[in-house]
Each structure stands twice: as C-alpha cells, then as structure tokens.
Structure 1
C-alpha cells in the first residue's frame, strides 16, 4: 500500500509539473518582450520551479532534502517578484511617457495661442482656450496615474530586494543574481523616464502654460505700459 501511494504521488507530481510548467512558461514568454534578452535564460530557468506548487507542505519527496526544497521555493518567489516588477515597471514607464507627451502638447499649444492671440476672433480664441483647459486637466490626471503606479513600483522594488536576499540566504545564487539584474534594468529605465518628466515640468513652468490666464488683458496692459515713461514706473 505504501508503495502504491508513492507511485500515485509521483504520477500526480509529474502531471501537475507538466501543467504548471506549460502555463508559467507561456505567461513568462509574453512578458519577456519588455526585458533585455540577456535576462531571458534566467526567466526560463526560474519558471520551471513552478512544479513545487504541487508538493504538499506536510510531505517531502524522499529524493529531496529540506534544504533543496527551501532553495527551490525561494527561486519560485524570485520568479514571482520578477513578474510583478516587470509589470509595474512597464505600467510606470507608459504613464510617465503619456505624462511627458501631454505636457509637451500643452506647451506647444499654448505657444501657438500666444503667438496668434492678436489674429484670433473671440470665438476662435474661446475654442482654443477650451482645448488648453482640457489639456491641463489631462496633465493632472496623468500625473495622478504616475503617482499611483510609482507607489506600486516601489512596492515591487522592495519585494524584489527581500526576495533576492532570501534566495541568497537559501543558497539559490542564480535566482538572487537574476533579481538584482531585473532591479538594475527597472531602476535605470524608470530613472531615465523620470528625468524626462522633470525636464518637461520645468519647460511647462517656464512657458507658464500651466497657470496662465486669458491674454487679452495682459496684452492691453503691456501696450499701455509701453507708452508710460520709465520715470513714472519707479516705486516711491
């Protein structure tokens, strides 16, 4: 009877391993497109550890030691954190890219508005101004998206660091190295995107497109000031 149970367990493990490996590898291949090719072999290596999910925690295969099971389990954890980090990084990069594009569009639109304000009819000026207001609203919404995804991304960073340390302590050196490689790539890409966002925000501030009001009064005031001698502009 004991021999029959062992055969039954072995058959169950083999079946579960085959199913999980196909599922995990299929998902992993779809996500690899957003990561450098140099990391792909680590991703596929870690994916095969999904078979461990079929092992009940109250039993231990006779051919594996507890140390080996812990090491493989830590590799499975790093595989999951790599997936989480990959997806949150992609989401944050996309949101930052949309944010920068929205800022650049507003700056360009506002510049055209300023240059042509004297040539626009009241109706045309009103139409352009409404578009500017919509662009401002869009920027605010995209900024909120960036903040939300950045929070998720920071959580993924922290989880990856903990997973890398756990894998190293368990003796899963390859899994630990893989996590650190993912971390470096993710942090480098996000840093670059954040730098572009900061530069775009500075350009927006300099253009005053984010807070400028209607220009008719400004233009008329400027024309009046040009006719006043400098001596009368001095403060007492």
Structure 2
C-alpha cells in the first residue's frame, strides 16, 4: 500500500510538471511532440518500477553454514543407516523363524521314527530315513542362512552406532537419540527370535540323545532275538 501511494504521488507531480512544460513551450511541443512523450513515459515507467520494487518483501536466504550442512548430512546418514538396520533385522528374524520351523519338523520326524522303531519293514524304515536326511539338510541350509544374515545385521548395528555418534557430535541430538532407540528395538526383536531358535536347538539335542538310547536298546534286543535257544538253556 505504501508503494502504491508513492507511485500515485509521483504520477501527479509528473503530470503537473508535464502540463507546465507543455504550456510554456508549445512551440517546442509542436515541433517534437514524440520526444517529450518519450521522456514522460520513461519517467513514469521508472517510478512505477521503483515503487513496485519497494513494495515487494525480500526473503532472507536459509542458513548454509558449515555446521548446518554437517547436521543435515548427519541426519541423512542416520536415516539411511536406520533403513539398512531395519532390512537386516527383518531378514535375520525371518531366517531364524524358518530355521526354528525346520528344526521342529526334524524333531517331530525323528520322534515318530523312534516311537515306531521295531515295527517298520525295511522299506518303510528306509523311506522314513530318506525324509529325515532331507530334513536335516534343510536345517543345515537354514542355519547357514541365519549365520549369513546375522553377519549382515551385526555390520548394520555397528554402522548405526557410528552414525548415532556422528550425529551427536555434529549437534543433531534428535537424530542421534532416534538412531539409538532403533538400535535397541532391533536388538530386542532379534533376542526374542534367538530364544525361539535356542529352544528348538534344545529339543533337537534331547531328541538326538533319545535316538542314541533307543537305537542302543533296539540293537541289544535284536541281538538277544538272534541268539539260539540252546545257548539260553541251563545245563
């Protein structure tokens, strides 16, 4: 509004000045009317542009200091590290879950075999053993997968800890706190999954001990059945 008022005032002054000039020098206007019009219009245009510029508010540039740029970079580093940790955690938890399922399946197969030991034909026993061997192979594959993803997850945690420390030292405290919270959450989730796999490993160990005992008992009973009756008679 101030700029507009200035433009109006300047326009009135120029119009009065133009009237005096044109009235006092009619013979000059008659000779060169285009020249005075050009001067008058040019002056008005300059005043208009000047008034318009005065009315436009200028915005200050953002803070682009070294500290500000470092904080932004540290925040981006924590964001990307957090994404890496999230994906690595999800992959490790899924791998542990699949490993636990494979172990439980193997335990179930072995216990069924032990319960039916001595009541199976050679063909049936061979078929069951083929299934058990295949399941053991799958357990080993799942275990290798767990080790691979666990290595990646440990690297992700280490990277996130470094990013959190860098964010803290650069002044991005909020990004550092968020990063450390994500690390703790990921560690808690992985620990819960590892408890499930530890329970599955415990059951598998118990089943293997049971298998050794049952096989020993079965072998002993088979030997007794093969002994002739003459050797069992008393003199």
1:58-207 matched pairs, under 5 angstroms: 63-207=63-207
- Give the TM-score of the pair, scaled to structure 2: 0.65
- Cα distance in 1 for residues equivalent to 2:129 and 2:213: 9
Deviation at 1:181, TM superposition (A): 1.1
Q: Do the aligned residues in 2 keep the contact of 1:204 with 1:210 (CA within 8 Å)?
A: no
- Cα distance in 2 for residues equivalent to 1:204 and 1:62: 63
Deviation at 1:140, TM superposition (A): 0.8
Q: Provide Cα deviations, 1:127-178, integer angstroms capped at 9, x if missing partner.
A: 1110000111111111111111100000000000000000011111111111
Q: Which runs of 5+ in 2 are unaligned?
A: 1-60, 226-235
Deviation at 1:88, TM superposition (A): 0.5
- Cα distance in 2 for residues equivalent to 1:210 and 1:143: 22
Q: Determine helix, strand or coil for the equivalent of 2:117.
A: helix
Deviation at 1:102, TM superposition (A): 0.6
Q: Which runs of 5+ in 1 are unaligned?
A: 1-60, 227-236
The corresponding residue for 1:37 is none
- Cα distance in 1 for residues equivalent to 2:202 and 2:224: 29
Q: Do the aligned residues in 2 keep the contact of 1:98 with 1:142 (CA within 8 Å)?
A: yes
- Cα distance in 2 for residues equivalent to 1:149 and 1:101: 17
- Cα distance in 2 for residues equivalent to 1:75 and 1:154: 21
Q: Provide Cα deviations, 1:67-107, integer angstroms capped at 9, x if missing partner.
A: 11100000000001000000000010001001111110000
Aligned residues: 166
- Cα distance in 1 for residues equivalent to 2:93 and 2:145: 11
Deviation at 1:223, TM superposition (A): 5.6
